[in-house]
Structures are given as structure tokens and as C-alpha cells.
Amino acid sequence: RLFQDPEFVAKYWDRYYQLRGDMLETGRMMGLIDEFTAEITEGAIRNFNKWSNLLGNYTWPNADGYASRTTHQAEVDWMKDWLTDRLNWIDGQYSRPPIFSRTDGPVAAGTVLTMSNPNSVGGTIYYTNDGTDPRLPANASTTTLLPAGSSLKWIIPTDAIANWNTLGGPSNLGSWNNGSAGIGYENSPADYAGMINTTVPSGTTSVYTRFTFKIPDQAIIDTFNTLSLNVRYDDGFAAYLNGVKIAGPNAPANPAWDSRATGQHPDSAASKYEPIDVSSFLGRLRVGDNVLAIQLLNTGTTSSDLLLDPQLVGGSSGSIIAPGARAYSGGIPLRSSQTLKARVLTPTGWSALETGTFLVGSGPASASNLAVSEINYRPALPTPAERALGFDVRTDFEFVEIMNISGNDLDLAGIRFTTG
């Protein structure tokens, strides 16, 4: 449920991209792998000489393509390729932060910083130069369009049914059964106790369902910038909003009337609502009647249970521009030291954050301009008020204070305490 909180999502991706520019930078990760590989290569060769059947042969859990990987280095290279592809895939799951034309640190007065938007969907870059976030956090507001346990029409198909998932519906809709979610069965009631309100025959593998909900005003739709389909399901389903497919976990790409689930969904997970972000389909909502049609799928006729109970929730949050933020329109001259923070406001929301601290006219720190100004060693015991806040040992209050004794900004890059 954390990922239903837009503030958590924003912080999550901010941290990811912060690491992506540091420890998770592709070149750096590949370099670390090469360093570790060099340390163990000699031993690895002896190991594979002893266990000669491991390379170039299928041994669980060797990945596909094992026949061409006949050396330890080939296995390492495969892992590096997989990690690179995975990082690139993760990068595509959220709007990317703006790209600065230079890295932060010391710069000459008057240096011009430019920014670019790496997102293909477009958007506007907003930035601040006082260290604050251009995005103003906002409390999420949600509207439940389709609540859990909603009424539905359902049928177990025995042949293809045209338009079963469209807004208008099929010609035989009048003969469909009425019920309410959750729909399914459980041969030995346990995990789904109290969750099934409409029972279908044991061994059912495919059920067509239709849920109708109303939106009275376009103004309601206009407030949404997120749409979440939250579903309890066992084992898979294909969901359609007003005739357009919006989700399909454990379902074939184009399920037929007699399709089955392509994978299992454990009872422990199926009994909880799984949120699926379908915000890209906000444009399919309409004023008046809307239809969420779902084909519920089971893995086989011997399955002991089946379950479907959906919710559809619209939300609005996180697109408020901070009062001090400016829209980027061209190069920014750096005439004084400052911390710039920037995001792209795309049609789907804010990007992750990019931050750069630029030190104008600064010099490297040294013993001539940086001094230890105070040491607080073995402070007094914590007071009762401090203990109540969790600071219960005196070492919580030890510190070393350093002071810039020059008249200029200092670059502390590389400065560290090495002893003491």
C-alpha cells in the first residue's frame, strides 16, 4: 500500500535517481563487477575445471543461452548485460529528472547552466535556486469510483460473445446473472472466508463480469491525475475500461472466451487488494455510465479456488508548483554559490528530482582555511526529556564542529576524518 501514497512514490524515485547518478550508475556498477571478478577469476577457473559440467550446460538455475557461456567471463558478461537492461527498464518506469549541462561543484563566476528534458512525453522544467523543492507536497485526495463488493453481471461463456467488454454491452446481456463481488468459489473455505458473495461452479476457468458505475460531472474527472485498479484475484484476469484493455496479470495478451490463467496467484497474495496503476487510461473515463469489464481466469479445472473483487479509485495530488519555483526558459548564469533543484512537470505528473550545488569562486578546503572549532566529547547524560525522544546514551550528543575561516566558499569534496 505504500505505493498508493504519492508522497512515498515521489521520495522513492527521488532516491532511486540520486543513487542512479552515483552507486547505481551503469559504468560504475560494471566497473565494480570487473574489480570483483578480477579478484576471483583464478579461483573460479579452478572451480570450473573441477566442476566442468557447470559451464555450457543446463544446471538450474542457469538462464537461457547457457550453451554459449562456456567460460567464467562469459557468465560475468551475461550478468552485466542483464543488469544493464534491467536498469534501463527501471529508468522507464517513472518520469526522468532534468539533465544538467554540467556536474555540480566549483564553477567560475558567470558559468551558464542549461537543462534539458529527457522525457518523450514533453513537459515543463521547474527549478529553484534556494535549495527548496519546486514541487509542493500535497495531501492526496481520492474518489472511489467503483467500491469493493459492487454489484455485477456475470456469465460463464461457452463461446465467443461479441462486445461483452464494451460500454454498450453484448446482445445477450439481459440473460446474464446478477451478483456482487467478490465472485468465485472455494472448495475448502479458509483464506477467502467472507470474501465470496457470488459463487460460481467449482472448476470454472473463465468468467465474464461487468461492473457499471456513474460519474456525474466532467469536473470530477478533471481533478484526477491518477487512476488505480485495486484487485483481489485468483489466479488472473483481463480488465477493460469502456472497451479498452487496461490490465491483465496472469492473462494471455488477447484472451479467448475459454482462456486460462497463465500463472498462479498465491492465496496469501490474492486475499489482499493489489494496486495496479492505470493512470494512462484516465482519458477513457466519461461522464455518465462507465463499464469495467473483467474476464476472470483460473489455471485449471482442478483448482481449489477462484476469486475476483475489484475497486477503481481516482486520485489527485502532487502536481502543485511551489511558489518560489520558476519555469526554465534558457541558460542560467551562476553568479553566486547556490543549490539548484529541478523537476519536469509532465502530462502524467512530476519527474524525479535533480539537484546540483554550484560553488562560485570557491577553493579546495585545506588546513589554511578550514578549522576544527569545537569538540563535544563525553557530554552530560541525557535529560529525561531527551530520553523520552529516544536519545538515551550520552554518545548521541557527541559532535565535531568545523568552521570555514576564509572569506570564500569551500569545496569539501574528498574531506574526511581518517583517525580519532
Task: Tell me the HSE value of 37 on the side-chain side, using a 13 A CA sphere.
Answer: 16
Residue 230 grid cell: 485495486
Average pLDDT over residues 222-232: 90
DSSP string, 370-390: EEEEEEE-S-PPPPHHHHHTT
Q: What is the mean predicted confidence (pLDDT) over 240-258?
A: 97
Residues of the chain above pLDDT 70, percent: 98
Integer Cα distance of 1 and 260 in angstroms: 28
pTM: 0.51
DSSP letter at 330?
S
For the segment 347-386, what is each residue's pLDDT rounded down to a tens digit? 888 999 999 999 887 777 888 899 999 999 889 999 999 9
Q: What is the mean pLDDT of the chain?
A: 91
Check residues 6 and 94 and name the one with the higher pLDDT. Answer: 94
Tell me the three cell numbers of residue 40.
Answer: 576471483
Residue 309 predicted with pLDDT over 70: yes
- Residue 137, pLDDT above cutoff 80: no
Q: Once rounded to an integer, what is the mean pLDDT over residues 64-90?
A: 88
pLDDT (mean) for 1-27: 90
Cell, residue 11 = 521520495
The per-residue pLDDT for range 160-169, each reduced to its tens digit, is: 999 999 999 9
pLDDT surpassing 90 at residue 333? yes
Question: What domains can be seen in the chain, in order of their start residue?
Answer: 1-94 (no CATH), 141-316 (2.60.120.260), 363-411 (no CATH)
Q: Amino acid identity, residue 291?
A: V
Task: Report whether pLDDT(61) > 90.
Answer: no
**pLDDT greater than 90 at residue 311:** yes
- Residue 147: asked if its preceding bond is cis (omega within 30°), the reply is no
Res. 4 pLDDT band, cuts 50 70 90: confident
Contact (CB, 8 A) for 169 and 291: yes
Phi-psi region of 418 (alpha: psi -120 to 50; beta: other; left: phi over 0): alpha
Q: Which H or E run contains 128?
A: strand 124-128
- The pLDDT value recorded for residue 86 is 96
Task: Please state the rounded mean pLDDT for residues 51-59.
Answer: 74
